[in-house]
Amino acid sequence: MTTEIKVSTWQAELAVDCRCTLGEGPQWDANHQRLYWCDILEKQLHWLAPATGESGHHQLDHMVSLAAPLDGGGLLLVGEDRLSRFDPVNAAVERFCDFETDNPVTRSNDARIDRHGSLWLSTMGKKAEKGAGSLYRLHRGKLTLLLSGLTIPNAICFSEDGEFAWFTDTATGVVMRWTLDSEGWPQGEPQSWADFSTTLGNPDGAVVDSEGCIWLALWGAGQVARLNQDGHVIGLIELPVSQPSCPAFAGADLEMLYITTAQEGFSDEQLAQEPSAGSLYVVETGVKGLAELPLRLV
């Protein structure tokens, strides 16, 4: 962090006391005004209707890390070894395609829809095995490998003009920026953009706001940092729990920032100190989110 830049601060408040083991993948469904997020390890898909406060969850038969709104309705579940269509009205699941089915070590992790309505998704080892993870792009129904040899791929997000993608390998502590072509495909090698390797907390999930800044969860630090276009921290959200995993903007005007958290790996003593760990938090920062496109499969 730099001392030359004024850093704004906010306090996050409890939104849904769901206490997920590994809360992840918050995603706003604008058409149905619902926020979805996952408890990866408990195989659950959670939801919240911010306008009414109503919430609930669906129990699934496999680990899922994101539910992406589809162009035309329904959701696409990013699962541990498959992508599936999901109808939240009747909880019907229809398998769309498989990936890494020959590798029982891995599961899906971070994912986000890009500025072309395509989906970037990652895999990692179920025990965070070094180098077991990969980064993919699902473009018009075809899944393409972008990068392999990663340990915990995270922080997938995109600039509004589609010029850049960001991601991190959490184990390295470094957020990378990748130049994209006019169709959203990476060009050249990703470049180091923001280094958290010597600070408290590891970079996890991230989202871009309407002003072009990135909100980055810092796992272990109990914070979400706001970074400007140069990768400098200009804001910090403080949470009462230590393991925030990913932020996402939601609400009718994308004015609320929701943050998933986790209690994965906690001892009984840690759970006693952080009883609401794994729950969904929210903060109104005065900055609006950047609307994301629904996922296009054709």
Q: Which residue has the tokens 């619902």?
A: 34
Token pair 């539910």 is found at 67
Q: Clarify whether 204 is annotated catalytic.
A: yes
42-60 mean pLDDT = 98
* Marked catalytic residue, from 39, 110, 114, 204: 204
pLDDT at 29 over 80: yes
Task: Indicate if the pLDDT at residue 220 is higher than 50.
Answer: yes
Contact call for residues 24 and 253 (beta carbons, < 8 A): no
Q: Cα separations (Å) of 109 from 112, 124, 128?
A: 10, 6, 11
> pLDDT band at 2, cuts 50/70/90?
very low
> 74, exposed or middle or buried, with CB in 10 Å at 0-12, 13-18, 19+?
buried
pLDDT recorded at residue 4? 61
Structure tokens at 154: 């995270």
The full set of domains in the chain, from first to last, is 8-283 (2.120.10.30)
Band of residue 3 on the pLDDT scale cut at 50, 70, 90: very low
CA distances from residue 67 to 26, 33, 70, 225 in whole angstroms, order as listed: 8, 14, 9, 24
Q: Would the pLDDT of 149 be above 60?
A: yes
pLDDT on residue 140: 97
* Section 113-118 average pLDDT: 98
The pLDDT confidence band at residue 5, using thresholds 50, 70 and 90, is confident
pLDDT at position 6 is 80
φ, ψ of residue 124 to 5 degrees: the values are -155, 165
